[in-house]
Chains A and B, each alone.
Chain A
Amino acid sequence: MRAKFVLSEALTGLWRNVTMSVAMILTTAISLTLLGAGGLLYVQIQETKDVLRGKVEVMLFLNDDASEQQRQTLKQRLENDHQLVRDVSFESKEQAYERFKELFRNSPDFVHGVQPDALPASFRVKLLDPKDYSDLANKYRSADGVSRVSSQQEVVSQLFSMIDAVKNTTFAVAVLQGIAALLLIGNTIQVAAYSRRREVSIMKLVGASNWYVRLPFILEASMAGLIGAAIGWLGLILGKVFLVDGALKPIFSSGLIPVIQWGDILVTGPILAFIAIAISGITGWSTLRFYVKV
């Protein structure tokens, strides 16, 4: 089988129906950009979760009138709670105020307005498994001397659910675009098979193997998929340059969400190319099973 013959057939095929080919390539590209973006977000969320979970502390704020004995009892309970608790530390009202001053050192007026004893004392608990936050909260919320249980986890999980929503929307649109791309690929292959029906019927008549008949069409689809993947990848690179490092920079510079790295984007390229070639090739092949029968 001559590679040159098959390749030139595929290129001619793409060119013959150029408007459809462009539509197919652009739809594929958009779908793959979104798929890639969703994938990058997914990886990002996993990494962020892992990093943050290790750091997150649960705070058990104490009543101002909590007695020394209540405090000791609570401390022992927490220290002996080997199911949930990894580490406990106590922060007195004075320490809380020191930390508060440190945190808002750039706003002295604000610090002045707060009385040194306004901040509650607290136990700061690191969990064995950060997911057990609500178990711990339920267990100790009504303990003697505890006024309130709070966690950075609440803030973080709100952030996560927002990113999750963005990710899911991206995936959903990627799937819809992907379906559109598949239909366009199927249609393009049908048109190609129709416009070459004479060649195809002669090929079959003289005993060309099914692969020989189908390969140019499948290559045509795969090539379109590959071009689509390349454009999609370019879209991700532009997204990195103009969104992550551009318009959205303030969000990332807060340090809470790690910045999407160039390395991840580079890895995404070959993955997208593989997905595009495989899926468009398979679509082309299965379309042909219906339209180019032996």
Chain B
Amino acid sequence: MITLESVSKRYPKSRRPALDDVSVGVDKGEFVFFIGPSGSGKSTFIRLLLREEVPTSGKVTVAGRDLGTLRSWRIPQLRRSIGCVFQDFRLLPNKTSAENVAFALEVIGKTRPVIRRVVPEVLSLVGLEGKENRYPSELSGGEQQRVAIARAFVNRPLVLLADEPTGNLDPDTSIEIMRLLDRINRTGTTVVMATHDANIVNQMRRRVVELDRGRVIRDQHRGVYG
């Protein structure tokens, strides 16, 4: 589903490369943690997969698309096959949870009947029945992250990228969010999660790829934070 072949990424004003000759593959339906301290290259990895950045050298492939040769007008199609969740939720404050999810469908041109059918479905899937008309400010952090996950998942993407999704949440809420991601993974969606939450990694017992200063230093099948 995702392959990186000797990928390096160097930012113009930085002495050290953010990613240094990284080769890693993620199969369809896998659940992978990318762990490591701040500045180890986790976020750069996610930005490369979204084609927000291009690698300095090496080849990135996502869902059979070589991102190096992907024409810029095809990038939206790539992003429609990738769901994305962030630490800061990235919800629109002036829209209700249902409207936030619907926005993702509106802007890719889905019809109104489809939106009306799909949005309540996905909101109940993430456990937000009855909170469709709440604004983000009226929801807890965990609930906001659920809205964000619903928005990321509503298009049934092949890959779900999660960049520190539990970074702003307390441990109990974090575990609920992880259960949700696990359920999504069980529907066949590949989940890639960047985190430095040791507790969660240790509980989930999934594949762990550890990055340090832009290099892969560990790739373990049922790993712990270490």
Contact = CB atoms under 8 A, between A and B. Distances in A.
B76 A208 contact: yes
Contact of B90 (A5, A198, A207, A208): A198
A152 B92 CA distance: 74
A294 interface: yes
Interface string A174-206: 000000000000000000000000110111111
A204 B90 contact: no
Contact of B103 (A2, A202, A209, A210): A202
A271 to B, nearest CB: 33
Contacts of A42: none
Contact of A212 (B77, B79, B80, B109): B109
A208 to B, nearest CB: 4
A100 to B, nearest CB: 78
Q: Most chain-A CB neighbours within 10 Å: which of B77, B78, B106, B151? A: B106
Contacts of B51: 294
Nearest to A213: B107
Interface residues of A, number: 18
A210 B76 contact: yes
A212 B107 contact: yes
A205 to B, nearest CB: 5
A23 to B, nearest CB: 26
A103 interface: no
Interface of B: 50-51, 72-73, 75-81, 84, 90, 92, 103-104, 106-109, 151, 155
B108 A208 contact: yes
Interface in A196-246: 198-199, 201-210, 212-213
Contacts of A1: 109
Interface of A: 1-2, 5, 198-199, 201-210, 212-213, 294
A268 to B, nearest CB: 38
A206 B108 CA distance: 8
A202 B92 contact: yes
Contacts, number: 50
Contacts of A210: 73, 76
A206 B152 CA distance: 7
Contacts of A2: 106
A208 B72 contact: no
A294 B107 contact: no
A202 B76 contact: no
Q: Most chain-B CB neighbours within 10 Å: which of A1, A199, A205, A208? A: A205
Contact of B108 (A5, A201, A207): A207
Given A198-B90, A201-B90, A294-B75, A206 B109 contact: no
A207 B73 contact: no
Q: Most chain-A CB neighbours within 10 Å: which of B80, B107, B151? A: B107
A-B interface, 4 closest residue pairs, ranked by CB to CB distance from nearest: A207-B80, A207-B79, A208-B107, A206-B104
7 contacts: A202-B103, A203-B107, A205-B50, A206-B80, A206-B155, A207-B80, A294-B75
Nearest to B80: A207
A219 to B, nearest CB: 15
B79 A206 contact: yes
Contact of B72 (A201, A206, A213, A294): A294
Contacts of B84: 205
Contacts of B79: 204-207
A50 B109 CA distance: 57
Contacts of A206: 79-80, 103-104, 107-108, 151, 155
Q: Most chain-A CB neighbours within 10 Å: which of B76, B79, B80, B106? A: B76
B91 to A, nearest CB: 8
A205 B52 CA distance: 9
B80 A202 contact: no
A207 B109 contact: no
Contacts of A199: 92
B76 to A, nearest CB: 4
A213 B103 CA distance: 12
Nearest to B84: A205
A205 B92 contact: no
Contacts of B151: 206
A207 B92 contact: no
Contacts of B107: 203, 206, 208, 212-213
